[in-house]
Amino acid sequence: MLIDTYDRVATDLRVSLTDRCNLRCTYCMPEEGLQWLAKPDLLSDDEIVRLVRIAVTQLGIDEVRFTGGEPLLRPGLVSIVEQCAALTPRPKMSLTTNGIGLKRTAAALKAAGLDRVNVSLDTLRPDVFKTLTRRDRHHDVLAGLEAARDAGLTPVKVNTVLMPGLNGDEAPDLLAWAVEHGYELRFIEQMPLDAQHGWKRDGMITAGDILSSLRTRFTLTDQGDGERGSAPAERWLVDGGPHRVGVIASVTRPFCRACDRTRLTADGQVRTCLFAREETDLRGALRSGAPDEEIARIWRLAMWGKKAGSGLDDPSFLQPDRPMSAIGG
């Protein structure tokens, strides 16, 4: 079991498979990209599967989310999913992706044992997409979403970040589109995860702003904390249901008290929080020949020291020293 001093138990593992990405989203990284991790620093496929196995069989993890960077860039992704699906007990498995390349891989991922996907899409406008991501790939993301739905990787969730002056007016249109296509839309407050440190609290679009915009067109019924559990998204029924929309208010309404996550970076470090400034090395233990029991002990010790909150609700919060692409969103 992965328990901390605040009696929170981590059952959800986020695994970053790579720090690389084929988009250059303005809220994540600079246009020229980043200095990528050297290949020897990355966990191998076998090392990833071993750590997931330890987490599932010894530490109580029952849900695994593969992230990046962009996880579809990992050549061994399908094999990793297949091997993790063979574990006993079998964890629930999902993938967070930008959707580029999903059209050609969705069926194989489903066959390997992946349960569902979260796809990042911030706009319905191809020109705004190009401005936000610095790439002309909007059509590929839409095709990837359709492929995921057709392959049965459901519910297909769409993650959207709204930014003033770019896509800040699109919330109602995005929700109408998601309802039409059978996707579950989740708005995420912009967080201070950009490598260029351009985030400003006073310029962000808040959860309250998003809900006010949605209510100009839809009736939203709060599903309440009982339905939410440890999930980060507050969810509402849209016009009485069955469709739902979620809002993740990481900045204005942090949900740290119910957090059940542990994170593994692409280079084998445990992070107790997306915004943590400390990491615990598992890669070194793996490569020095440590047995599973010792790796599990190191992981438990790391989680025991998890802090009460992320610090995002503190106006003096300092951005983490590693960009989201290296940590796993």
Name residue 287's amino acid. R
Token digits for 163? Answer: 């930014």
Whether 265 and 281 have beta carbons less than 8 Å apart is answered as no
Q: Rounded distance, CA 29 to CA 72, Å?
A: 18
pLDDT grade for 320, boundaries at 50, 70 and 90: low
Alpha carbon 307 to its chain's center = 20
Least confident of 94-108, 273-287, 312-326: 312-326
What confidence score (pLDDT) does residue 199 get?
Answer: 45
Range 24-31 average pLDDT? 74
Question: By three-state DSSP, how is residue 23 classified?
Answer: coil
Q: Rounded distance, CA 219 to CA 6, Å?
A: 37
What confidence score (pLDDT) does residue 35 get?
Answer: 74
Residue 216 reports pLDDT greater than 50: yes
Range 245-263 average pLDDT? 88
* Percent of the chain whose pLDDT exceeds 90: 74
Whole-number average pLDDT of the chain: 89
DSSP string, 143-168: HHHHHHHHHT--S-EEEE---TTTTT
pLDDT grade for 196, boundaries at 50, 70 and 90: very low
Q: Rounded distance, CA 55 to CA 191, Å?
A: 28
**pLDDT higher for 220 or 326?**
220
Q: Which of 25-39, 112-126, 312-326 has the highest mean pLDDT?
A: 112-126
Least confident of 20-24, 35-39, 200-204, 205-209: 200-204
pLDDT tens string 273-310? 888 888 999 999 999 999 999 999 999 999 999 998 77
How many CA atoms are closer than 13 Å to the CA of 255, on its beta-carbon side? 19
76 burial class (0-12, 13-18, 19+ CB within 10 angstroms)? middle
Residue 246 reports pLDDT greater than 70: yes
What confidence score (pLDDT) does residue 225 get?
Answer: 64
**pLDDT higher for 22 or 230?**
22
Residue 30 Cα distances to 24, 27, 171, 186, 325, angstroms:
7, 8, 25, 25, 12
What confidence score (pLDDT) does residue 249 get?
Answer: 87
Range 213-224 average pLDDT? 94
Range 234-242 average pLDDT? 95
Write the Ramachandran bin of 60: left for phi over 0, alpha for psi from -120 to 50, otherwise beta: left
Within 8 A by CB and 6+ apart from 236, the residues are: 211, 220, 221, 222, 223, 244, 245, 246, 247
Q: Quick one: the chain helix, strand, coil %, rounded to 5? A: 35, 15, 50
Name residue 310's amino acid. S
- The pairing of beta strand 63-67 with beta strand 12-16: parallel
Q: Edge-to-edge strands of the sheet including 92-97?
A: 220-222, 234-238, 244-248, 184-188, 157-160, 116-120, 92-97, 63-67, 12-16, 261-264, 269-271, 280-281
Alpha carbon 96 to its chain's center = 5
What confidence score (pLDDT) does residue 204 get?
Answer: 83
Whether 265 and 298 have beta carbons less than 8 Å apart is answered as no
* Percent of the chain whose pLDDT exceeds 70: 87
What confidence score (pLDDT) does residue 325 get?
Answer: 52
pLDDT tens string 163-184? 999 999 999 999 999 999 999 9
